[in-house]
Chains A and B, each alone.
Chain A
Amino acid sequence: MKQIPAPLWTLTIGVAVTLLSLWYGQNHGLMPEQASEQAVLIDELFDSMVVMGTALFLVMEGAILYCMIQFRQRKGDETDGPAIEGNLPLEAFWTAIPTILVIGLGLYSFQVFQEIGGITPGHVAHDHGTMIAQADDTPLPGGLSESGKGPLIAENSVFGLGAPLENEDTAADLQVNVTGMQYAWIFTYPEGNIIDGELHVPIGADVQLNISAKDVIHSFWVPQFRLKQDAIPGKKTALRFIANKEGNYPVVCAELCGGYHGSMRTQVIVHSPEDYQAWHDKRVAQTPAVETIAKAPADLSAEEYLSPYSQEMGVNRDLIANLSLK
């Protein structure tokens, strides 16, 4: 082995680390399935970070292991190591390389953030005369702006995700109002007056969720969409996504909201356009249960409140069972 020169070793290790990192970045299998167009972009970002991370991890851990083995104290050797106190070019190198890497990563993540609509959350084409979308004007069900004596705060901004910058004036195909409360999500379709405990969306449609919270902070998360946005009392937040795969995916509350936070789960159902229309028509035909839903949940225990709706709202049966355990 001794005849192999050090640069050759470095080269071999470098190539091996690069190949291994590239391979792992594509095959880590850590993410759940992708079900939205946004997920594709976010996964690409994650994959590239995995590649970078794996390479750095291997190099660093390799260096540590090499040190541990190569530079261990030999038996009977009580001498010190060489008195090297620094190496300016080397230090400059390992300051500059990470700086370049993180700036590159920052730019890339900025680009992804822009493409998933992070720059223009809940944007409305106010300046263009024609009001297409109505995110700001749609009254949020249970929004606190109505309940107070009149809002003291003049602020009216929407936080979260909107359309990507290039089509920021495009209206969403479907708007759904999402209300978080202890411990359920309520989905209201302004068009057709549908209220449901599950989110139904057609595949390929540009869906905008107008998110609000009734009591405490919740957080709307669909792992398969890779999107999350807090539902904040007194603030308007929004998410915008295009589902690209039919199926049922969990909707999870990701912000601690009380004792049964862990059971605040429901699902989003991505339909084919025809199925969605069928569902929509069927629900419009039914009498919406608006009045009952509007009843203040605070007077009832979560269990009492939720159990009558477990069927039609699709609230998880385990959840009810969990509640009963109290």
Chain B
Amino acid sequence: MTQAELPTSAEVMAIPTTPPPHHPEKWKWYDYFTFNIDHKVIGIQYLVTSFIFYLIGGLMALAMRAELATPASDFLSPDLYNAFLTNHGTIMIFLWIVPASIGGFGNFLVPLMIGARDMAFPKLNALAFWVTVPAGMLIMGSFFFGGAQSGWTSYPPLSVVTANTAQSMWILAIVLAGTSSILGSLNFIVTIWKMRVPSMAWDQMPLFCWAMMATSILALVSTPVLAAGLTLLLFDINFGTSFFDPAKGGDVVMYQHLFWFYSHPAVYLMILPIFGIMSEVIPVHSRKPIFGYKAIAYSSLAICLVGLFVWVHHMFTSGTPPWMRIFFTISTLIVAVPTGVKIFSWVATMWGGKIRYNSAMLFAVGLLAMFVFGGLSGVTLGTAAFDLHVHDTYYVVGHFHYVLFGGSVFGLYAGLYHWYPKMTGRMLNEPLGKVHFILTFIGTNLTFLPMHQLGLQGMPRRVAMYDPQFQALNQLCTFGSIVLGISLLPFLANAIWSWSRGPQAADNPWDAKTLEWTTASPPIIENWEVLPVLTEGPYAYGEEPAEASANT
């Protein structure tokens, strides 16, 4: 019934069931504020920290939507508006989705899923978390200097001539976050490669680990290039170099290439771990094996590989020669294939299942529904000819919020609802979770769907003032964003209250098969007293129907 069986025979009784005395039995609350090297503590540190940044970034978004309720610039000063749009993007990407999905879920789950006691390099792991803290402080501190105002893309020359101090702080913050990402990634690669429990073959590994493997490779390959580009920008701003100064022979488009060589893969850094979460959540709550394990695993790698060669689709209207625009149209469209394979496989997993509609599954299905839309609009954006019209418009804003909010954030919520019992040992309140889902689903569609039409009709992105003809749709978006803001309240109440007061969670409340459910909830400090041994695959549902019902 579970992927691995903890022996229940007399053998176990011979094993000391308590850890050695000088070893804390469980972490105290204050351990979570220290340089702790337990992967589970680090995972929770990542999740909580990034969630706080999510709230900060969300408040910025609400302020921007308030500004956009009217065509004139009347709520925020234009510079502050630009600072908000820059840092909203930066925070949501570098301090929320990436650290929450890779740092948070990755750290918490990967060792548990592969039967390891910790990551390969626990100290490095803690270091990777703790460098994101100064990164966050730099971002917040930059607001004392006006905040970086040139968009999260920070294209020169604008980034070189605007708010120099804040822009430099922004660059340092991103380089720190990037360093964290590189350290984390090499840790994941070595851990997954070398530390699987000996009985686990590659094709018995949960798909989340495959996704983390692909993510880590991608981060290792692309992040240094961003670091290089940002270093050049930092020198241009502060040390008088002219890498991107056209008056002295520099090339501003060079920066765009360096930036997007990282930042397009960054999109996959934000969605691949989420795909991994989906591949875990859907089979458990559909009570069926994942459909097409190999296809899903390899499509992660395919996305990782093809994703490295699509970056110019962000530059179709920039200074790019025709061959580039054509080549990158084709490569971009091809990414749709492995992504489609995943979506089809998840639907096929649900097909014929016995779907349990708890909050985790609702968010997973919500993700599916919205990612289909975001994916389709992404395909249209990938064609150079059509992109000439919609590039840098609200159509793009709508598209990437469908994949990043409707995709990544929904996936993070699904993951939180799914693994919260494992992380805290408490169950979340289901009715509150459903209210949260309904509000989020409605809010997301209200906020981001009209944006597509706005963009097609002629509203550019990153504007604080716009043509009055777009007011009605903008107000709809603003209304939606308020719903989204409210949707957080039931979740916050639920998560905070349940952490101490929720009903005790069983070791395996969902009757799932992957290894993390074989240990206690929350897991003991070294994860297992006795390392589990695999007896079946991670998704072996439906083979012993009689036993499967025994637990519930």
Complex Cα distance, B150 from A279, in Å, reads 39
Which of B326, B354, B356 is within 8 Å of A113, CB to CB? B326
* Chain B residues within an 8 Å CB radius of A41: 385
Within 8 A of B (CB), among A244-272: 250, 252-263, 265
A193 adjacent to chain B (CB < 8 Å): no
A258 with B465, Cβ < 8 A, contacts A71-B352, A235-B253 known: no
* Chain A residues within an 8 Å CB radius of B251: 153, 234-235
Question: By the criterion CB–CB under 8 Å, are A326 and B337 in contact?
Answer: no
A78 with B548, Cβ < 8 A, contacts A60-B343, A322-B465 known: yes
Query: B544's closest neighbor in chain A, by CB?
Result: A80
Which of A67, A77, A91, A116 is within 8 Å of B295, CB to CB? A91
Question: By the criterion CB–CB under 8 Å, are A228 and B388 in contact?
Answer: yes
Question: By the criterion CB–CB under 8 Å, are B386 and A229 in contact?
Answer: no
* Chain A residues within an 8 Å CB radius of B543: 80, 83
Within 8 A of B (CB), among A189-235: 215-217, 219, 221, 223-224, 226-230, 232-235
B238 adjacent to chain A (CB < 8 Å): no
Complex Cα distance, B249 from A216, in Å, reads 15
A227 with B542, Cβ < 8 A, contacts A73-B355, A79-B287, A81-B352 known: no
Cβ contacts B21-33/A at 8 Å (1 or 0 each)? 0000000000000
Our count of residue pairs bridging A and B at CB distance below 8 angstroms stands at 319
A30 adjacent to chain B (CB < 8 Å): yes
B458 adjacent to chain A (CB < 8 Å): yes
Cβ contacts B381-398/A at 8 Å (1 or 0 each)? 001111011011100000
A49 with B386, Cβ < 8 A, contacts A67-B347, A118-B322 known: yes
Complex Cα distance, B6 from A222, in Å, reads 66
Question: By the criterion CB–CB under 8 Å, are B149 and A259 in contact?
Answer: yes
Chain B contact residue count (CB 8 A cutoff):
104
Within 8 A of A (CB), among B75-105: 77-79, 81-82
* Chain B residues within an 8 Å CB radius of A233: 157, 246-247, 252
- Report, as a range, how many residues of chain A touch the other chain: 35 or more
Question: By the criterion CB–CB under 8 Å, are A221 and B334 in contact?
Answer: no
Within 8 A of B (CB), among A143-199: 144, 147-149, 151-153, 157, 159, 161
Question: By the criterion CB–CB under 8 Å, are B292 and A147 in contact?
Answer: no
* Chain A residues within an 8 Å CB radius of B319: 159, 230, 232, 235, 237
Complex Cα distance, B82 from A73, in Å, reads 48
B11 adjacent to chain A (CB < 8 Å): no
Within 8 A of B (CB), among A262-287: 262-263, 265
Question: By the criterion CB–CB under 8 Å, are A94 and B460 in contact?
Answer: no
Interface residues of chain A, those whose CB is within 8 Å of chain B, are: 30-32, 41-42, 45-46, 49, 53, 56-57, 60-61, 63-64, 67-68, 71-74, 77-87, 90-91, 94-95, 98-99, 102-103, 105-106, 109-110, 112-113, 116, 118-121, 144, 147-149, 151-153, 157, 159, 161, 215-217, 219, 221, 223-224, 226-230, 232-235, 237, 250, 252-263, 265, 318, 321-322, 325-326
* 18 cross-chain CB contacts under 8 A: A60-B343, A64-B365, A81-B286, A82-B288, A85-B292, A103-B333, A106-B329, A152-B249, A216-B161, A217-B157, A217-B252, A250-B458, A254-B392, A254-B393, A256-B151, A261-B82, A321-B72, A325-B73
Task: Kindly list the 3 A-B residue pairs having the minimum CB-CB distance in the complex, ordered from nearest.
Answer: A234-B246, A152-B249, A262-B463
- Extra contacts, 19 of them, besides A258-B149, A263-B465, A322-B465 (Cβ < 8 A), are A46-B386, A49-B380, A63-B347, A64-B347, A71-B355, A81-B288, A87-B291, A99-B337, A113-B329, A121-B322, A159-B318, A219-B460, A221-B458, A228-B317, A229-B388, A234-B252, A254-B391, A254-B392, A258-B158
